Amino acid sequence: MHNQSIIDLSVIVPLYNEEESLPELADWIHRVCNHAKFNYEVIFVDDGSSDNSWPVIEKLAKDNQNFKGIRFRRNYGKSAALQKGFESAMGAVVISMDADLQDSPDEIPELYRMIKEEGFDVVSGWKKKRHDPFGKTVPSKFFNWTTRKISRIKIHDFNCGLKAYRSEVVKNIEVYGEMHRYIPVIAKWAGFHKIGEKVVQHRARKYGVTKFGMERLIKGFLDLLSISFISKFGKRPMHLFGTLGTILFFIGLVIGIYLAVAKYFYEVYKMTERPLFYFGLLAMIIGSQLFVTGFLAEMISRNSADRNIYKVKQETGLDKKQD
């Protein structure tokens, strides 16, 4: 059962070791939402921080009933934190943003308006002017270009942490691995096609250090391939593996028949002395393996389990009643 939307807005803030920025961020969000007269909640998802982020969240939740917290037992990654936040959100509109103060809460009212009044399913922030190092901006541009080409979604910044969603979107998608950067793609392939973007302010990091690492480039690229495959063949893997297997097996069979006929009628030399024989044999073997792989993948897809195997250590504020 999904949570019924009973409030205007849910703000999801995944975080890892951001104790210094949390009080300032919480106060900023509170001011903006109060000024806009939103009935709101802010869900901080502590992704296994090793600093004092959780005590700070507990204090925020104690002082303000709109603030809530979820703490993972260890670091599972941003995607798992967002997924848990999405599951817990009760707002008609859900906005995600980073905890490092590089995303401005002043963007919240306009993002909310675009969802409610313009009817967007997803609105992605576009950090047109960035304050990141060169080693982060160049790979980001490459991945955004690649994702646009594959997904055919015409937005500029898939990886921006500041995004807004209709509640139905976050309740009908699954985010795991490094796929948080491709949420608009996941939403589109889940049937939500009205996806827009808004130019947002990108602020320089005020506290702490970036969690960005070069290994995320490889993981992100592999996850993009995974999304592409799952969206097209996740429910029917036999269509891919079976087709490839059949084609390869047929090619190998034709080669085998040709060599057999040539041997029978012409007896020029032994079949096993011709390189073409081994190519045909290899094609039939690989074709058979792909066909079997398709059957196994079909069975697995019908019995797939939840990929999010995180365990929540603590929660705070989630049992508070909304006004």
In sequence order, which residues have a C-beta less than 8 Å from that of residue 273 and are 6 or more positions away? none
Is the pLDDT at 111 greater than 90, yes or no?
yes
Which helix (H) or strand (E) segment holds residue 71: the answer is strand 67-72
Domain boundaries, the chain: 7-233, 237-301
Superfamily of domain 7-233: Spore Coat Polysaccharide Biosynthesis Protein SpsA; Chain A (3.90.550.10)
Q: Using CA atoms, how far apart are residues 295 and 242, in angstroms rounded to an integer?
A: 8
- The one-letter amino acid at 176: Y
In the structure, what pLDDT confidence band is assigned to residue 65 with cuts at 50, 70 and 90?
very high
In the structure, what pLDDT confidence band is assigned to residue 1 with cuts at 50, 70 and 90?
very low
User: Tens digits of per-residue pLDDT, 155-171?
Assistant: 888 888 899 999 999 99
User: Tens digits of per-residue pLDDT, 123-154?
Assistant: 999 887 765 555 566 667 777 787 787 778 88
Q: Using CA atoms, how far apart are residues 322 and 43, in angstroms rounded to an integer?
A: 14
Q: In this structure, what are the phi and psi dihedrals at residue 155, rounded to the nearest 5 degrees?
A: -125, 160
